Amino acid sequence: MHFHYALFAEILRDLAKTVASLPPADMAHREALCDAAEALYLALKPDAGESQDVDDIAHMSPAEEVLLLHVLE
């Protein structure tokens, strides 16, 4: 599967502009988006002093897998 990172980044920027308009009643969606964005941020941030294979998804926790699925939806 080819992933176009620039397009994905643009989608994230557009989402950031519109997410403030989510009604407060959609708190579950806000929390899911927040958790997914945090997981993506942490995955992109290199760990200090540790080498990390970013292509190795075999070591993802179940929670990280769910967050990734939410991001990709």
On whether residue 52 sits in a domain, the answer given is: no
CA distance 23 to 20: 8
| Tens digit of each residue's pLDDT (9 = 90 or more) over 7-49 | 999 999 998 888 878 787 877 788 888 888 888 888 888 874 4
Q: What share of the chain is helix, strand, coil (3-state, %, to 5)?
A: 65, 0, 35
On whether residue 62 sits in a domain, the answer given is: yes
- Structure-block tokens of residue 54: 């970013």
Range of the domain at 21: 5-45+58-72
CA distance 44 to 16: 18
How many structural domains is the chain composed of? 1
* pTM of this structure: 0.53
- Structure-block tokens of residue 55: 């292509």
On whether residue 41 sits in a domain, the answer given is: yes
On whether residue 51 sits in a domain, the answer given is: no
On whether residue 53 sits in a domain, the answer given is: no
Contact present, 29 and 22 (Cβ < 8 Å): yes
